[in-house]
């Protein structure tokens, strides 16, 4: 591995001989600012590789928890320190920079902490106790940012910041993640009207990476976050980065080359830092960001997992999930793995189900979500039609049993059964704070804002949350206590290393998912009952030896059989 050669090769492929030299000179200046001083805490503990079974990530907004008299980031740190310090290795704080819309993803200033959340000292306090994951919102910038203001003013350094397109241009092939216009008109300070590429909204102006100066500015932001302590960088909406009229403008070769370039730069400056790509697309497209297993992202979001788990629980049938786990979870190398999650600040994407389930089954999921108090977001297709893009609901409410009780022990157990499966699969597990806290749909937030995704973005009063967690029998306490036990137990199992071997077993019951994980001198069998009815499994039929103990569910193992209660997972070791 030679980072210098890799950097030069990527720049040649992105810009060709004509501009690669200019790009290299600009990039040398950026890298020179940060080389040798990445900052932040070193990796904690000895490990062989980028991750191990102790890695569990908490996903949260900086203001998910509020406490009177304290900045939100300080309230968050207080909760982390008091309640989950031994559960999570990393904390992903969603965009904590000043923004103008989209709850942080329309960035006004990449270099500052949003003063409504706190300051860099508050970020540093969290980073002392946890590895920090930060967002690089790389595809676009706020229309209210200083950068865009300088573009409108005709500043020579920013004159090609945005992508100007004649509105008569045929853009029908462009892949659209939103049912919104692709171009937005703006007026420059000199009175000229231009139409600019805005993939996600009129307030989010796509950046023009065909200009090497734009690329180098974003590399500077990347290294700045590393210098402030980030140990993982999430590349938001990376798939849409490179625009080429006449193509679908997604996953372009230049986009992959930009990811390779960032990996090479980090290999030179801060080789311990992890890149994670956020690409809510079908599985094959998603895993393309592993590259050859060594040259692109170390982590990719496992976007197929959330809707497939929901599909399995809703149908009480594991066959599709089982086939997917057997056929789709190959990991390219020890240097990369999946980022497993079921809930996030966004909805549950359904595009990753394409080619795995029939379209009518996606419509069934959408109908279930609406029945559980959620909604559905749509994307625009090239023919002008619209199709489901994501399910907007808390994962807690998505896992309600249709017609069954809600907000009680059975609801909590069914939800936790889905999380136990997530924690049994290859990859690094991640937990959204509203899943950890058992949060329900925030329909009031949707009604007040008109934003469907707000259903899973409620800001909670820390004192009230702590009171509910300390109330025996409360729904929050039931979910939280089971979650913390699951996390602590998983972190001690070598067989659940993110890259440990996976073998999918085949029980006779279609309501049971059976997995064998092997690694670090340990073998672990994970058996999950997705049904509201108990079942008994003959272990010898699955090739499972006698004399094992269920360390997770405490289910009865006797006489070569395992008794699984409804919505329970057993970890047999």
By annotation, the residues acting in catalysis are 236
Task: Give Cα separations from 245 to 222, 236, 248, 532 (angstroms).
Answer: 28, 22, 8, 52
Q: How far apart are CA 174 and CA 202, in angstroms?
A: 17
Q: How far apart are CA 31 and CA 216, in angstroms?
A: 9
Question: What 3-state class would DSSP assign to 98?
Answer: coil
Nearest Cα neighbor of 365 from 394, 388, 342 is 388
Give bridge partners of residue 388 from the DSSP assignment. Answer: 378
- The distance of Cα 180 from the centroid of its chain, to the nearest Å, equals 23
Read off φ and ψ for residue 264, nearest 5 degrees. Answer: -65, -40
Q: How far apart are CA 169 and CA 178, in angstroms?
A: 19
Helix, strand, coil content of the chain in percent (nearest 5): 35, 20, 45
Task: Supply angle C-alpha 151, 157, 160, rounded to 5.
Answer: 55
CB distance 345 to 457 below 8 Å: yes
* Beta-strand relationship, 90-93 and 57-60: parallel
Burial pattern 353-365, b for ≥16 Cβ within 10 A else e, equals bbebbeeebbeeb
For 515, the token pair is: 């997995």
């Amino acid at each position: 591995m030679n980072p210098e050669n890799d950097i030069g090769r990527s720049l040649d492929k992105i810009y060709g001989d004509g501009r690669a030299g200019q790009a290299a000179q600009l990039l040398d200046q950026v890298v020179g600012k940060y080389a040798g001083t990445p900052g932040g805490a070193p990796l904690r503990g000895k490990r062989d590789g980028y991750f191990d079974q102790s890695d569990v990530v908490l996903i949260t907004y900086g203001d998910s928890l509020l406490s009177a008299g304290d900045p939100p980031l300080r309230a968050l740190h207080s909760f982390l320190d008091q309640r989950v310090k031994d559960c999570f290795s990393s904390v992903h704080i969603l965009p904590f920079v000043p923004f103008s819309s989209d709850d942080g993803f329309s960035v006004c200033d990449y270099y500052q902490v949003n003063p409504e959340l706190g300051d860099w000292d508050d970020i540093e306090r969290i980073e002392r106790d946890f590895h920090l994951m930060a967002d690089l919102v790389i595809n676009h910038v706020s229309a209210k940012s200083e950068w865009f203001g300088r573009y409108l003013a005709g500043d020579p350094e920013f004159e090609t910041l945005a992508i100007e397109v004649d509105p008569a241009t045929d853009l029908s092939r462009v892949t659209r993640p939103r049912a919104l216009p692709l171009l937005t008109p703006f007026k420059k300070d000199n009175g000229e009207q231009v139409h600019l590429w805005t993939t996600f909204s009129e307030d989010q102006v796509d950046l023009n990476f065909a200009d090497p100066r734009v690329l180098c500015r974003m590399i500077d932001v990347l290294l700045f976050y590393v210098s402030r302590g980030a140990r993982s960088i999430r590349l938001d909406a990376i798939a849409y980065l490179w625009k080429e009229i006449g193509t679908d403008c997604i996953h372009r070769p230049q986009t992959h080359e930009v990811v390779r370039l960032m990996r090479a730069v980090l290999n030179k400056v801060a080789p311990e830092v992890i890149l994670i790509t956020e690409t809510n697309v079908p599985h094959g497209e998603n895993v393309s960001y592993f590259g050859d297993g060594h040259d692109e992202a170390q982590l990719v979001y496992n976007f197929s997992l959330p809707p497939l788990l929901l599909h399995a629980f809703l149908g009480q049938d594991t066959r599709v999930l089982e086939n997917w786990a057997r056929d789709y979870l190959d990991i390219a190398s020890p240097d990369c793995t999946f980022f497993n999650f079921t809930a996030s600040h966004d909805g549950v994407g359904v595009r990753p189900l394409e080619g795995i389930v029939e379209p009518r089954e996606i419509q069934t999921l959408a109908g279930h979500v609406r029945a559980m108090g959620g909604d559905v977001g749509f994307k625009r297709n090239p023919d002008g039609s619209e199709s489901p893009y994501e399910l907007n609901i808390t994962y807690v409410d998505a896992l309600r049993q249709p017609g069954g009780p809600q907000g009680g022990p059975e609801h909590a157990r069914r939800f936790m059964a889905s999380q136990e499966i997530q924690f049994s699969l290859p990859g690094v597990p991640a937990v959204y704070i509203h899943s950890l806290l058992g949060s329900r749909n925030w329909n009031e937030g949707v009604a007040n804002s008109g934003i469907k995704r707000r259903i899973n973005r409620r800001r909670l009063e820390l004192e009230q949350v702590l009171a509910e967690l300390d109330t025996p029998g409360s729904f929050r306490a039931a979910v939280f206590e089971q979650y913390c036990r699951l996390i602590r137990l998983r972190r001690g199992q070598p067989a659940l290393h993110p890259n440990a071997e996976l073998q999918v077993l085949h029980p006779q019951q279609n309501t049971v998912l059976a997995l064998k994980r092997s690694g670090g001198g340990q073998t672990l069998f994970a058996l999950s009952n997705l049904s509201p009815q108990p079942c008994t499994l003959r272990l010898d039929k699955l090739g499972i030896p006698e004399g094992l103990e269920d360390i997770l569910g405490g289910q009865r193992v006797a006489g070569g059989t395992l008794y699984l209660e409804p919505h329970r997972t057993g970890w047999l070791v």
